[in-house]
A and B are shown apart, each in its own frame.
Chain A
């Protein structure tokens, strides 16, 4: 029993990402076609060159036919996957294992979500028929319980917590303002963020991710064949996944200041990629900032800083675009928006741009392409404190 990983055995040879906005004029199929066609062009392959497909969508449709029909895929294996908000990452993970196993030469992962057709606020899951005893709380409410718990544990007063969370929101809006694909392209001051109306607990509107429609895609092949398609592939160093057992909800020892699923998931990813000190070895990170407090805690769970230090390092600007470890250089869920099935692939798309030096000049991370072993980490979670799934990938432009 072990997690061996498939480090450097699979390469990403093409990627795409639509704008993440309220696509009132585009349906799920339109988003799929747009992202897929751009991805075929990016990889320089034709539809038929792709041997197998994985579609990630949380609620966009059932089965692989949701992808096969709009793309008119003839006789292809197409699998629809769902893993909460980590759905897009899960699609890529399966596609990578598909080629790493030798079963296929070229595989594609497409993530898509049409969130804005419901007319409701936020994201809404449709539970299966049940006995009516489950929680019906919003994700914001569940995550809002983290901020006061964290503040208490580390002796950080509520005002300082608010400042740190506002810094995260402001940072991500700053980055998103420099991203033509992002949902919210305006810088927002911490003052405005602090004044925003409350959604749940101490979380205001500006502490919450945007909800958008969108799609993103990636095409992968075996690493030894990457050169046939591109000179600048990204190599998959690590793919790890942990589905929590929900124990945090029932275990009185859980204190809402950390997400154990993520700590375990990150440890597996670092082992796969041979990363010993993530705080210095990771050059950039795209993390699941569904709420500002989530991003704060993730800095510790992902090993970017010691326990209890994230709030200070956030305020010190360490994770800003020009900081030592830029986090969410594309604006994150906060300002890029969160089409559930697409978000995980969107994170990788930012790594694809940054590590290949293709990000817009005003948000290209300085010096990243000159690093000896520039590594990008993407982290994608689904669920709630106490009951979540976690995905971590590590990508790099070089073998080894």
Chain B
């Protein structure tokens, strides 16, 4: 039996109230909210955050990463995720293509492949200020772990059939290097997706030798809510779950895995459930949940995250997306990172691995070779810190230091079980920071210089 072993999802902290858009631009907007990746997040960091929440992800033998908005071209982004998760060097880590459908490609290949495969996806959706894409889009990360059923890592949802329908047509597009997605005629897309969706759906049901009424729940992901609703109404499934476009938005390459996770979180054992993805074609995955589903733990849930978050003013959103140029601090921009220095500190920079003194037990962040008393050299153990919560010992707000989005909230954090690090705090309003609050490490992009993202860890308040 092969199928899904686990999942993890990540929604960024910030929410844009869509009504703010028309008030500012004079057009566009809509109802509800969308999720917004912070200025220090990109598709890679959100994929890391999602993948970190997948039980057993670290042991995957292969990692595939899908996004329509990669941090690097030419260079593989999946290796960053691989490093942040501290996966085995023997694991293959590859990027899928830069289209939203590539995420479904990863899911299909993992479903039919061999070994344990982690499919990570993340996306940042943008459009012109005031455009429907800007308003309807959302940012998220989602990851699924596929593999064969074993007693130690049981399948929670068996793949019972997949089907695809492919055709060349132009729906949404963007040239390489551009940041804003453009859209062809919506009605044309709706009709085309409707036809392809039904075709794939019928094929999948036939392949599994079941009827639509046998499917307990289905989730449909599509470029717009209208296209989704149009197909969903015609599938004949018992229940169609909401894809949360009114609170999260449509999250591009991250949407299929995000919605499938959401679906599984709302399902019980022994049910047939389905994912229908419309993105440059139609792809269907039929699954049968197992008894192991009850024991799966991936916190927080999509629903929990969708109802959390904090508002972001539209002006900030525009500046984060590069659609509004704001005067930077009058401080020098940081230099590009040294690739060789970064490679040497791989474990610390990407994996947040400190060192622990074998003599005294003291944790050093960053890792040190010589003990604090100066007596021992290289008498240390590795001490992973990425999953360790800490407490703010003291803090400050820096209004002057260079930041892509000042001011900087900064805290001295004492981690549970030892280790202190002065570290930047993110996803935190100035009024929220206080001595004694609990914070947890999160993988972020500090800045980009010369096309090189500088990835490292920050701390964010532990919420809920």
Contact = CB atoms under 8 A, between A and B. Distances in A.
Given A132-B456, A133-B345, A135-B422, A200 B398 contact: yes
B394 A256 contact: yes
Contacts of A132: 334, 337-338, 342, 349, 446, 454-456
Interface string B333-367: 01101100110110011000000000000101110
A136 B402 CA distance: 7
Contact of A127 (B335, B345, B372): B335
B320 to A, nearest CB: 19
Contact of B399 (A127, A198, A251): A198
Nearest to B407: A200
Given A122-B331, A250-B421, A133 B372 contact: no
A250 B364 contact: yes
Contacts of B365: 250
B311 interface: no
Contact of B400 (A122, A130, A247): A122
Contacts, number: 118
B337 A252 contact: no
B395 interface: yes
B400 A145 contact: no
B464 interface: no
A201 interface: yes
Q: What size tier do the contact residues of chain B reach?
A: 35 or more
Nearest to A247: B372
B337 A141 contact: no
Contact of A131 (B338, B393, B398, B412): B338
B342 A251 contact: no
B410 interface: yes
Contacts of B374: 245
A200 B408 CA distance: 9
A137 B364 contact: no
Nearest to B415: A252
B394 A136 contact: no
B75 interface: no
Per DSSP, chain A at the interface is loop
A135 B402 CA distance: 11
- Residue among A129, A201, A250 having the largest count of chain B Cβ atoms under 10 Å: A250
Interface in A140-166: 140-142, 144-145, 148-149
A138 interface: yes
A122 B330 CA distance: 9
A137 B420 contact: no
Interface in A104-137: 118-122, 124, 126-127, 129-133, 135-137
A249 interface: yes
B394 A149 contact: yes
Contact of A138 (B393, B400, B446): B400
Contacts of B329: 121
Interface in A162-208: 198-201
Contact of A136 (B337, B338, B399, B401): B401
Contacts of A130: 337-338, 341
Given A118-B332, A127-B335, A141 B408 contact: yes
Contacts of B422: 135, 137, 142, 249, 386
A258 to B, nearest CB: 14
B396 A250 contact: no
Contacts of A127: 335
A38 B362 CA distance: 53
A254 B357 CA distance: 18
A120 B402 CA distance: 11
Contacts of B419: 250, 252
B17 interface: no
Contacts of A199: 399-400
B400 A136 contact: no
A121 B331 contact: yes
Given A124-B332, A132-B342, A252 B401 contact: no
Between A138, A144, A247, A256, the greatest number of chain B beta carbons within 10 A of the residue's beta carbon is seen for A138
B115 interface: no
A198 B407 CA distance: 11
Interface string B305-334: 000000000000000000000000111101
A273 to B, nearest CB: 28
A120 to B, nearest CB: 5
Contact of A145 (B332, B344, B412): B412
Q: Which of A132, A136, A249 has the most CB of B within 10 A?
A: A132
Contact of A129 (B332, B335, B418): B335
A124 B331 contact: yes
Given A118-B332, A252-B420, A256-B412, A131 B394 contact: no
B414 interface: yes
B398 A140 contact: yes
B219 to A, nearest CB: 39
B92 interface: no
Nearest to A384: B422
A33 to B, nearest CB: 29
Nearest to B372: A247
A199 B421 CA distance: 22
Nearest to B411: A145
B391 to A, nearest CB: 10
Nearest to A202: B396
Given A118-B332, A251-B420, 7 more contacts: A120-B330, A121-B330, A126-B335, A131-B349, A136-B402, A200-B400, A249-B421
8 A-B pairs with the lowest CB-CB distances in the bound complex, closest first: A141-B398, A132-B337, A129-B338, A201-B396, A132-B454, A131-B341, A131-B345, A144-B396
14 contacts: A122-B331, A132-B334, A132-B454, A133-B366, A135-B410, A136-B446, A141-B397, A141-B401, A200-B398, A201-B398, A249-B420, A250-B364, A250-B420, A252-B420
Interface of B: 329-332, 334-335, 337-338, 341-342, 344-345, 348-349, 362, 364-366, 368, 372, 374, 393-402, 408, 410, 412, 414, 418-422, 435, 446, 454-456
